[in-house]
Amino acid sequence: MRRIANMYTIDEASSILGVHPTTLRRWEKERKITSSRTTGGHRRYAVKDLSAIKRDLKPLQDKIVIGYCRVSSSDQKEELKRQVHTVSQYCSANGYQFRFIKDLGSGMLSIITVFSSRLYGSRSHKRKKLQQAVKQVIEDNGHAYV
72 given a catalytic annotation: yes
- The alpha-carbon radius of gyration of the chain (Å, integer) is 21
Q: How deeply is 92 buried, as exposed, middle or buried, from its count of CB atoms within 10 A (0-12, 13-18, 19+)?
A: exposed
Which listed residue (36, 72, 110, 116) is catalytic?
72
CA distance 65 to 117: 29
| DSSP secondary structure, 66-88, as one string | EEEEEESSGGGHHHHHHHHHHHH
In Å, how far from its chain's centre is CA 74? 28
Pair 118, 76: CB distance under 8 Å: no
Q: Just list the catalytic residues.
A: 72
